[in-house]
């Protein structure tokens, strides 16, 4: 093992910045006995996130430009920094910044525990960035736990007493079982491949898979464990309960950051094993994709609670992102990966927008918004209603918005691989989706009522929602340049 | 019976039995503390599998992983018990049949 060199340390400076930012508010609280001002805490956390992004640009992208490389490994090949992880880490910084803003204004998270919230959010963000960089199965397990343990505590921290505690318990129990299953799979892969380094395992995968049943069991267990984390049907049953019960900013974080990071880790497990020509695995992934899309869309049809409806819609979106995963892991690493990461980016932006609207409408810490509560909002809060309508149209995938182009690229990538029936099922699922996404719009604009639910101090949250709605339209117009930009960032050419 | 008679298969079957016992415990028991213990049992079954592979493949990595997994299991127990304490303060009981507010 060679000595640690300076480059390796510089690569992780963004994470150090995030960590320093996370401990400032909580150390002030510990040493002075008083909480820092709420705005000062938020400001220091946002500065840390911006600094992390800046350090990433300087020391990773800058270094690549200077030395003419396009990926590097660090810490005895335990971390890999390549186009995928750099791109994902920028999306995670963006998500973290917006989640911090929602946390600052939401009734359930604001108050005497903002310092703890900031500490946990930034540490979960460190976990997410490391999940996208992990190049060793045991490191992957450790950082997934770093991310998950922070999220369990974040859910339980909410000021609302009944639903959030139940959500924390459910997520903790099912998340731990998911982690244990993942770890058992890692043990079997280690046992049959003799290594836990992803590249070594991936390159040997084809030969081992043909000769060793233990490897196949391990792979199946790892797929099941990751399916728990990204909420694929039939491992999705925790998601609606947990998304509904958690404070809205935490739900936003789970639906965007955790899902994105887990998908990247899932992809990294498969991207090295292109030689693995296993029709059994391909069939399994196709069915997971199709069942996830359809179950999510159909179950969302009969939901009255807005957060629960968005939770099922997020399950359906996991299914759509799985289409990119399917084509990425079964031959088309370029287009498949790009379409999946493109979709995860715009899905994250749409989800932040939709939950920001929900957060702005939560007048009390234990608000449970129903779709019927939206009656009359178009008269009382025309801006908020308009914002929500655009975001819902984008989630449904209606053409001028970027949601349409995200689905288009995914469907094209699976058709390229010859999975036409998956593409057809995605279209069926989208058609069902249009119905339940349009229902809130109909209630907002076509029914009379006295809309009363609004958080009076939510200017930041409402601006976040508005920015996302405008981004949906703007990115929709520039979809093709954005797609090429994602492609060039994910696969940087020398 | 000497140790040599035991093959990797024996240990792996034992670890599979322990893992399934843990999984059954999480799915069937109603008390949160018992569920936490079942999760620990699952992680320990995994540790047994790691040590087995490490011993029979003559590869030290597996034993290092066991140390990591034990540390993570301790952290997980800390978080789980903290959540259990806050639930007990709220509901004065730790039976999961109390927690059925979220459904639909």
Q: Where are the domains of chain A?
A: 278-494
Nearest to A149 among B32, B64, B75 (CB): B75
Dmax (CA) for chain A in angstroms is: 71
Domain that holds residue B27: 3-98
Q: Tokens 């459910």 label which residue? A: A170
3-state helix, strand, coil in chain A (%, to 5): 80, 0, 20
Q: Which helix (H) or strand (E) covers residue A81, if one does?
A: strand A79-81
Beta-carbon separation of B101 and A162 below 8 A? yes
Domain assignment present for residue B81? The answer is yes
The lowest-confidence range among A205-214, A409-418, A453-462, A466-475 is A205-214
- Given pLDDT bands bounded at 50, 70 and 90, which one contains residue A312? very high
Q: Which residues of chain B have a CB within 8 Å of the CB of A183? A: 43, 46, 69
> Which ranges of chain B would DSSP assign to H, the alpha helix?
8-28, 32-56, 61-91
Per-residue pLDDT reduced to its tens digit, B51-99: 999 999 898 889 999 999 999 999 999 999 999 998 898 888 888 877 7
- Given pLDDT bands bounded at 50, 70 and 90, which one contains residue A456? confident
d(CA A489, CA A478): 16
Domain assignment present for residue B31? The answer is yes
Angle value at C-alpha A253, between A250 and A257, nearest 5 degrees: 160
Per-residue pLDDT reduced to its tens digit, A71-110: 888 888 889 998 899 999 999 999 999 999 999 999 888 8
Domain assignment present for residue B103? The answer is no
Angle between helices A198-211 and A213-230 (to 10 degrees): 130
Q: Is residue B97 classed exposed, middle or buried when 0-12, 13-18 and 19+ CB atoms within 10 A define those classes?
A: exposed
B75, B26, B42: which is closest to A169 by C-alpha? B26
pLDDT of residue A8: 83
Q: Which of A182, A183, A212, A245 has the highest number of chain B CBs within 10 A, making it the mutation to test binding with B? A: A183
B75, B67, B79, B23: which is closest to A171 by C-alpha? B79
Q: Which of A187, A201, A218, A224 has the highest number of chain B CBs within 10 A, making it the mutation to test binding with B? A: A187
Residue spans of beta strands (DSSP E) within A213-320 = none
The answer to whether A215 and A185 have CB atoms below 8 angstroms apart is no
The answer to whether A388 and A465 have CB atoms below 8 angstroms apart is yes
A52, A61, A153: which is closest to A109 by C-alpha? A153
Domain assignment present for residue B80? The answer is yes
The answer to whether A292 and A232 have CB atoms below 8 angstroms apart is yes
Take residue A69 and report the two structure tokens written for it: 């490389």
pLDDT of residue A274: 67
Domain assignment present for residue B26? The answer is yes
Q: List all residues 6 or more positions away from B21 whose beta carbon is below 8 Å from its beta carbon.
A: B38, B41, B45
% of chain A with per-residue pLDDT over 70: 97
Burial pattern A393-411, b for ≥16 Cβ within 10 A else e, equals bbbbbbeebbbbbbbbbbb
Nearest to B102 among A163, A176, A195 (CB): A163
- H helix and E strand count, chain A: 22, 2
Take residue A180 and report the two structure tokens written for it: 């244990």
Q: Residue A55, preceding bond cis, omega within 30 degrees?
A: no
The answer to whether A392 and A437 have CB atoms below 8 angstroms apart is yes
Count of Cβ atoms closer than 10 Å to residue A483 Cβ: 18
Q: List all residues 6 or more positions away from A293 whose beta carbon is below 8 Å from its beta carbon.
A: A316, A319, A320, A322, A425, A426, A429
Residue A243 has pLDDT above 90, yes or no: yes
Q: Tokens 């150390």 label which residue? A: A27
CATH code for position B91: 1.10.287.3510
Nearest to B39 among A180, A195, A303 (CB): A180
Residue A309 has pLDDT above 60, yes or no: yes
- Given pLDDT bands bounded at 50, 70 and 90, which one contains residue A443? very high
- Given pLDDT bands bounded at 50, 70 and 90, which one contains residue A458? confident
The count of domains in chain B is 1
The answer to whether B101 and A167 have CB atoms below 8 angstroms apart is no
The alpha carbon of residue B2 is apart from the nearest alpha carbon of chain A, in Å, by 24
CA dihedral A456, A461, A464, A469 (to 10 degrees): -60
The answer to whether A246 and A117 have CB atoms below 8 angstroms apart is no
Beta-carbon separation of B53 and A162 below 8 A? no
Per-residue pLDDT reduced to its tens digit, A467-489: 999 999 999 999 999 999 988 88
**What SS3 class is residue A72?**
strand
Nearest to B39 among A138, A176, A196 (CB): A176
| A477 touches B at CB < 8 Å | no
DSSP A43: H
pLDDT of residue A13: 92
What is the ipTM score, two decimals?
0.94
Mean pLDDT score of chain A: 90
Average pLDDT over residues A338-353: 94
DSSP B3: G
- Given pLDDT bands bounded at 50, 70 and 90, which one contains residue A162? confident
Let me know how long chain A is.
494
Q: Which of B11, B15, B87, B99 has the highest number of chain A CBs within 10 A, making it the mutation to test binding with A? A: B99
pLDDT of residue A1: 45
Domain assignment present for residue B93? The answer is yes
Beta-carbon separation of B39 and A170 below 8 A? no
A489, A483, A482: which is closest to A64 by C-alpha? A489
pLDDT of residue B3: 57
Compute CA distances A199 → A78, A82, A138, A271, A475, whole Å: 11, 13, 13, 9, 35
Take residue A176 and report the two structure tokens written for it: 């731990």
């Amino acid at each position: 093992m060679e000595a640690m060199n300076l480059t390796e340390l510089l690569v992780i400076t963004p994470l150090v910045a995030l960590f320093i930012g996370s401990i400032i508010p909580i150390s002030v609280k510990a040493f002075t006995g008083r909480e820092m001002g709420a705005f000062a805490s938020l400001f220091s956390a946002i500065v840390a996130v911006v600094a992390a992004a800046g350090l990433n640009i300087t020391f990773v992208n800058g270094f690549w430009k200077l030395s003419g490389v396009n990926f590097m490994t660090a810490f005895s090949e335990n971390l890999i920094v390549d186009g995928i992880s750099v791109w994902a880490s920028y999306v995670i910084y963006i998500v973290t910044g917006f989640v911090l803003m929602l946390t600052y204004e939401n009734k359930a998270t604001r108050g005497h525990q903002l310092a703890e919230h900031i500490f946990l959010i930034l540490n979960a963000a460190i976990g997410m960035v490391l999940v996208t960089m992990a190049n060793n199965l045991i490191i992957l397990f450790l950082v997934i736990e770093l991310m998950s343990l922070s999220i369990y505590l974040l859910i339980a921290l909410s000021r609302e007493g009944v639903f959030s505690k139940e959500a924390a318990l459910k997520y903790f129990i099912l998340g731990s079982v998911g982690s244990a299953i993942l770890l058992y799979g890692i043990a079997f892969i280690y046992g049959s491949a003799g290594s836990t380094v992803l590249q070594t395992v991936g390159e040997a995968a084809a030969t081992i898979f043909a000769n060793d049943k233990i490897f196949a069991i391990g792979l199946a267990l790892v797929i099941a464990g990751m399916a728990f984390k990204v909420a694929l049907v039939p491992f999705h049953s925790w998601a609606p309960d947990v998304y509904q019960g958690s404070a809205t900013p935490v739900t936003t974080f789970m639906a965007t950051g955790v899902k994105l990071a887990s998908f990247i880790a899932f992809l990294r497990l498969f991207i090295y094993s292109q030689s693995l020509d296993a029709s059994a695995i391909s069939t399994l992934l196709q069915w997971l994709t199709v069942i996830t899309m359809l179950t999510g869309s159909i179950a969302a049809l009969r939901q009255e609670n807005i957060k629960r409806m968005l939770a099922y819609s997020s399950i359906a979106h996991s299914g759509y992102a799985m289409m990119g995963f399917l084509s990425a892991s079964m031959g088309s690493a370029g287009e498949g990966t790009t379409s999946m990461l493109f979709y995860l980016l715009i899905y994250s932006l749409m989800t932040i927008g939709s939950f920001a609207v929900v957060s702005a409408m939560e007048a009390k810490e234990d608000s449970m918004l129903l779709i019927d509560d939206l009656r009359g909002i178009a008269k009382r809060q025309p801006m908020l209603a308009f914002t929500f309508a655009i975001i819902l149209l984008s989630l449904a995938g209606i053409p001028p918005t970027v949601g349409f182009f995200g689905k288009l690229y995914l469907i094209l990538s699976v058709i390229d691989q010859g999975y036409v029936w998956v593409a057809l099922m995605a279209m069926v699922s989208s058609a069902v989706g249009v119905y339940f996404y349009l229902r809130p719009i109909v209630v907002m604009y076509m029914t009379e009522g006295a809309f009363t639910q609004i958080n009076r101090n939510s200017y930041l949250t409402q601006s976040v929602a508005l920015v996302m709605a405008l981004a949906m339209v703007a990115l929709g117009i520039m979809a093709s340049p954005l797609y090429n930009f994602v492609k060039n960032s994910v696969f940087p050419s020398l | 019976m000497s140790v040599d008679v035991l093959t990797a298969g024996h240990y792996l079957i034992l670890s599979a039995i322990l893992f399934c016992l843990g999984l059954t415990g999480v799915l069937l028991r109603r008390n949160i503390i018992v569920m936490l213990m079942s999760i620990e049992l699952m992680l320990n079954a995994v540790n047994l599998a790691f040590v087995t592979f490490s011993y029979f493949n003559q590869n030290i990595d597996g034993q290092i992983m066991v140390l990591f997994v034990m540390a993570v299991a301790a952290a997980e127990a800390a978080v789980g018990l903290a959540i259990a304490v806050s639930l007990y303060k709220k509901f004065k009981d730790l039976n999961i049949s109390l927690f059925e507010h979220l459904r639909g």
